[in-house]
């Protein structure tokens, strides 16, 4: 018999052979298992490809029925996605030439089917009914789709058959592996029997081996416990990192040296419109990219991905991305870091995108608010003194024009001065309107009636080449508005519309009840959500470019020739609507006209009668106390009052006016400037005089409306204000209204 140790050696050799065979079969079993797990993914991608083609066919059919740009965009998206979808499938089955050929055949059928849909779309765009009927009659698209479905079904059947084969192989391999493991276990038992026979001789060694074995088992158990704990910690860390990465507000792209996207998060899909399968080149084609100014196109070498793959590390590179299709733009700040391998060579790059569109929009609105505030301060600073001077100029030129009837040459000069002064007054009024510093006298009025009256005035004003039409909703609520300012606003917009229609066109005035929700007013914090009455003014003119549209309400901005406009028309409308508590929107497209929508506040009560001019004689014989700090204006007013038959008492400030009252001099009306030097304003003077002489009547005048008788840009209840500059008829009318009205 062979020595027992030789038997043990042979047994160990056989055991090693069995172990090697077991390992080999185990590897094969794992490989089969991987393929078994891989085939369902291939089946899912085949189903996705079939669904993608059906989406394209459905989008083309939807466009044919409704001619909607949304269906056209979806069809283009499908055509762009066919190539990447089939490329991914080919990559999945790259080890199977037969499947590659089947995929290429299916891709060819899919493209031919989408080409048929594309021809249908083009025929629909051209309204070519004959071509559409011919295409439906030929049924090429259905035949191709049927072939494609058969191809997909064959591919799915092949994959399922392959799945069955792989599964059967895996099961057979598992059975053989179990048999080998059983044989190995049997051999181990035999070897143990041999070892037991030799146990007496090796008792001492066995005891030592047991001790070593126990120590090793303890070490293995401890190491296994540590490994399990480390694995669990790694799993938790991976989960935290993955969730954090996907929930980041910043978009992240990790790319390889060829621009292929290796890793992306959900924010990239929202912010950059990234879709899985896109590379950097495809992503760039979706938008026009500009530098931070939004106007300078960005060169390819300055693009963030190009820079990072060049090895540059950068932070806060600002770009403006404007979509090729659709509206809206994004202001993005990008940080980039190149990725390097262990040799230092560039292996890719990481790009982090932060959307600052909201902050840039806030900055823009802040600049506009600051601009408005600056214009308001400038207007307020000059309006008072400027209107004082204009009061004297306009009043004097009125007198000159009336007294130079026999001198036509001098009368023409006086008329020129008068026209220039009137134009200056209008400019000041428009500036005050834009700065929201004009006094409003709002009433609850029927908007439809006001619009109808304005439309009648517009027809002769705009000329026969402009068709003026109205669409007035019958259930429109009354509005709370200053009717004269509304008329001025509509006339300004109508004149702009006429200038945009040099060859004639149509001007449409529409009224309708409207509701603004939180989404409508998100860009304008001054506006409150709720019910409004909308007045829309639309034209069929040349429209505005996006650049012009952005500056449409800016004061002094105009696209007209020098001398053809002041650039204050729309800015006046903007200020009037905002001051009235409303909202204004403008939409325009070059070649397709412009629509301006005024959202006006609804009335709280019934429609009020609008007061007309005061009746009675132009002048009177009452005594008027005139309080005016400007000597030129004071002299002019006194001369005009005396020419109207009134007796006058003059005072240059509040103190001298109170001295007249204290002396007991009689007068019927206090005619006072609101803004005067000293510590007492015109309103305070009127209160002081009323305390001494109850029932006294008061008429205020001012060249600047941001004063004591105007609150929230509206006249106080019962206050009468004659704004400068004014002419003699306006002065006479307001005097009679004040003298004939209720006492203070």
What CATH number is associated with residue 725?
Answer: 3.40.50.2300
Mean pLDDT, residues 508-537 taken together: 83
What are 435-472's pLDDT values in tens digits?
Answer: 555 666 677 889 999 888 888 888 887 888 888 899 99
Q: Give the separation between CA 429 and CA 368, rounded to whole angstroms.
A: 20
Closest CA to 398 of 597, 670, 144, 643: 643
Domain membership of residue 336 (yes or no) is yes
Mean pLDDT, residues 294-308 taken together: 90
Residue 138 has pLDDT above 80, yes or no: no
Total of domains in the chain:
4
Phi then psi for 494, rounded to 5 degrees? -65, -40
485 and 634 housed in the same domain: no
Measured at the CA of 448, the angle between CA 443 and CA 450, to 5 degrees, comes to 55
Q: Give the separation between CA 300 and CA 74, rounded to whole angstroms.
A: 28
Higher pLDDT, 720 or 709: 720
pLDDT at 80: 85
Tokens found for residue 98: 């037969």
173 and 38 housed in the same domain: yes
Higher pLDDT, 224 or 609: 224
pLDDT at 658: 92
Mean pLDDT, residues 696-702 taken together: 88
With the CA atoms of 195, 200, 203 and 204 taken in that order, what torsion angle do they form, in degrees rounded to the nearest 10? -130
159 and 36 housed in the same domain: yes
34 and 169 housed in the same domain: yes
Mean pLDDT, residues 242-260 taken together: 84
Confidence of residue 34 (pLDDT cuts 50, 70, 90): low
Mean pLDDT, residues 196-213 taken together: 67
Burial grade of 485 (CB within 10 A; 0-12, 13-18, 19 or more): buried
Q: Which residues are within 8 A (CB) of 177 and not within 5 positions of it... i.e. 6 or more apart? A: 22, 25, 26, 29
Q: Last residue of some domain: 567, 600, 633?
A: 600
Residue 37 has pLDDT above 90, yes or no: no
470 and 551 housed in the same domain: yes
pLDDT at 345: 92
| Mean per-residue pLDDT over the chain, rounded | 78
116 and 61 housed in the same domain: yes
Domain membership of residue 163 (yes or no) is yes
Q: Specify the CATH number for the domain of residue 331.
A: 3.30.450.20
Domain membership of residue 707 (yes or no) is yes
594 and 627 housed in the same domain: no
Domain membership of residue 371 (yes or no) is no
Any idea how long the chain is? 744
Residue 353 CA to chain centroid, in angstroms?
A: 18
Confidence of residue 187 (pLDDT cuts 50, 70, 90): low
- What percent of the chain is modeled with pLDDT above 90? 13
Closest CA to 676 of 650, 645, 707: 707
540 and 639 housed in the same domain: no
Residue 274 has pLDDT above 80, yes or no: yes
Q: For the whole model, what pTM was predicted? A: 0.44
Among 48-57, 140-149, 577-586, 604-613, which is the least confidently predicted range? 604-613
154 and 287 housed in the same domain: no
Among 536-550, 665-679, 698-712, which is the least confidently predicted range? 698-712
Residue 16 has pLDDT above 80, yes or no: no
Domain membership of residue 246 (yes or no) is no
Domain membership of residue 434 (yes or no) is no
Higher pLDDT, 113 or 250: 250
pLDDT at 8: 63
Strand partners, 625: 649, 670
Confidence of residue 513 (pLDDT cuts 50, 70, 90): very high
Q: Give the separation between CA 352 and CA 315, rounded to whole angstroms.
A: 9
Mean pLDDT, residues 30-41 taken together: 61
- What percent of the chain is modeled with pLDDT above 70? 78
Mean pLDDT, residues 14-26 taken together: 67
Q: Which residues are within 8 A (CB) of 592 and not within 5 positions of it... i.e. 6 or more apart? A: 543
Mean pLDDT, residues 48-60 taken together: 79
Query: Positive or negative, the Cα torsion across 171, 174, 176, 178?
Result: negative
Measured at the CA of 572, the angle between CA 571 and CA 577, to 5 degrees, comes to 100
Domain membership of residue 647 (yes or no) is yes
pLDDT at 189: 66
288 and 159 housed in the same domain: no
What are 535-545's pLDDT values in tens digits?
Answer: 999 998 888 88
Higher pLDDT, 211 or 607: 211
Among 73-77, 387-391, 432-436, 438-442, which is the least confidently predicted range? 432-436
Residue 565 has pLDDT above 60, yes or no: no
Higher pLDDT, 249 or 471: 471
652-686: b (≥16 Cβ within 10 Å) or e = bbbeebbebbeeeeebbbbbbbbbbeeebbbbebb
Residue found by looking up tokens 């799945």 in the block: 163
Confidence of residue 712 (pLDDT cuts 50, 70, 90): very low
493 and 633 housed in the same domain: no
Q: Specify the CATH number for the domain of residue 107.
A: 1.20.120.1730
Mean pLDDT, residues 632-659 taken together: 89
Confidence of residue 195 (pLDDT cuts 50, 70, 90): low
Residue 616 has pLDDT above 50, yes or no: no
pLDDT at 385: 67
Q: Specify the CATH number for the domain of residue 572.
A: 3.30.565.10
Phi then psi for 523, rounded to 5 degrees? -85, -5
Angle between helical axes of 654-663 and 682-692 (0-180°, round to 10): 10
Residue 308 has pLDDT above 80, yes or no: yes
pLDDT at 713: 44
Q: Give the separation between CA 242 and CA 319, rounded to whole angstroms.
A: 28
723 and 633 housed in the same domain: yes
Closest CA to 532 of 479, 576, 570: 479
Structural domain for 683, as ranges? 623-740
Are residues 684 and 708 in contact, defined by beta-carbon separation less than 8 angstroms?
A: yes
Q: What is the CA radius of gyration of the chain?
A: 44
Domain membership of residue 420 (yes or no) is no
Number of helices (H) and strands (E) in the chain: give both, helices first: 19, 20
């Amino acid at each position: 018999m062979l020595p027992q140790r030789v038997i043990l050696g042979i047994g160990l050799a056989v055991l090693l052979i069995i172990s090697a065979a077991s390992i080999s079969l185990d590897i094969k079993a794992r490989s089969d298992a991987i393929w078994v797990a891989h085939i369902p993914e291939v089946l899912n991608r085949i189903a996705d490809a079939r669904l993608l083609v059906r989406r394209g066919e459905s989008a083309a059919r939807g466009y044919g029925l409704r001619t909607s740009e949304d269906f056209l965009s979806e069809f283009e998206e499908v055509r762009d996605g066919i190539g990447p979808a089939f490329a991914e499938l080919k990559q999945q089955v790259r080890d199977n030439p037969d499947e590659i050929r089947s995929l290429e055949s299916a891709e060819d059928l899919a493209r031919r089917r989408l080409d048929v849909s594309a021809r249908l779309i083009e025929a629909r765009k051209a309204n070519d009914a004959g071509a559409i009927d011919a295409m439906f009659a030929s049924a090429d698209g259905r035949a191709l789709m049927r072939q494609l479905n058969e191809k997909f079904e064959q591919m799915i059947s092949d994959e399922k058959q392959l799945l069955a084969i792989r599964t059967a192989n895996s099961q057979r391999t598992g059975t053989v592996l179990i048999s080998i493991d059983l044989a190995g276990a049997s051999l181990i038992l035999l070897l143990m029997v041999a070892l037991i026979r030799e146990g007496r001789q090796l008792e001492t060694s066995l005891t030592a081996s047991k001790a070593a074995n126990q120590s090793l088992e303890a070490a293995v158990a401890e190491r296994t416990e540590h490994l399990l704990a480390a694995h669990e910690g790694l799993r938790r860390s991976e989960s935290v990192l993955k969730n954090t990465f996907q929930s980041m507000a910043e978009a992240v792209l990790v790319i390889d040296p060829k621009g292929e996207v290796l890793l992306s998060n959900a924010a990239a899909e929202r912010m950059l419109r990234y879709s899985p399968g896109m590379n950097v080149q495809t992503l760039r084609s979706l938008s026009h990219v500009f530098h931070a100014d939004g106007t300078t196109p960005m060169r390819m070498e300055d693009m963030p991905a190009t820079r990072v793959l060049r090895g540059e590390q950068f932070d806060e590179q600002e770009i403006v991305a404007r979509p090729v299709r659709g509206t809206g733009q994004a202001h993005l700040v990008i940080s980039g870091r190149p990725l390097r391998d262990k040799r230092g060579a560039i292996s890719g790059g990481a790009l982090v995108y932060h959307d600052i569109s909201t902050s840039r929009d806030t900055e823009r609105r802040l600049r506009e608010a600051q601009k408005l505030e600056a214009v308001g301060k400038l207007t307020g600073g000059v309006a008072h003194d400027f209107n004082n001077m204009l009061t004297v100029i306009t009043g004097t030129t009125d007198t000159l024009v009336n007294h130079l009837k026999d001198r036509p040459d001098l009368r023409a000069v006086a008329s020129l001065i008068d026209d220039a002064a009137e134009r200056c007054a209008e400019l000041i009024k428009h500036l005050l309107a834009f700065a929201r510093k004009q006094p409003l006298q709002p009433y609850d009025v029927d908007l439809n009636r006001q619009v109808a009256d304005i439309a009648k005035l517009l027809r002769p004003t705009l000329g026969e080449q402009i068709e003026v039409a109205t669409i007035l909703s019958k259930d429109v609520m009354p509005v709370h508005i200053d009717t004269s300012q509304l008329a001025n606003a509509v006339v300004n917009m109508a004149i702009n519309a006429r200038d945009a229609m040099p060859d004639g066109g149509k001007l449409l005035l529409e009224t309708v009840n409207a509701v603004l929700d939180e989404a409508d007013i998100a860009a304008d914090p001054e506006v409150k959500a709720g019910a409004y009455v909308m007045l829309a003014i639309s034209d069929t003119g040349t429209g505005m470019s996006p650049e012009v549209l952005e500056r449409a309400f800016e004061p002094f901005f105009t696209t007209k020739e020098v001398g053809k406009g002041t650039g204050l028309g729309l800015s006046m409308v903007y200020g009037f609507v905002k001051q009235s508590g409303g909202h204004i929107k403008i939409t325009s497209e070059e070649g397709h006209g412009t629509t301006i929508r005024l959202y006006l506040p609804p009335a709280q009560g019934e429609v009020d009668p609008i007061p007309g001019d005061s009746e009675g004689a132009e002048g009177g014989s009452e005594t008027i106390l005139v309080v005016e700090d400007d000597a030129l204006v004071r002299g002019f007013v006194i001369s005009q009052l005396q020419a109207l038959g009134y007796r006058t008492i003059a005072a240059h400030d509040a103190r001298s006016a109170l001295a007249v009252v204290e002396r007991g001099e009689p007068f019927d009306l206090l005619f006072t400037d609101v803004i005067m030097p000293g510590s007492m304003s015109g309103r305070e003077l009127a209160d002081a005089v009323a305390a001494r002489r109850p029932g006294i009547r008061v008429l205020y005048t001012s060249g600047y409306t941001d004063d004591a008788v105007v609150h929230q840009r509206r006249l106080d209840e019962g206050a009468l204000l004659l704004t400068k500059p004014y002419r003699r008829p306006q002065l006479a009318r307001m005097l009679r209204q004040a003298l004939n009205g209720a006492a203070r």
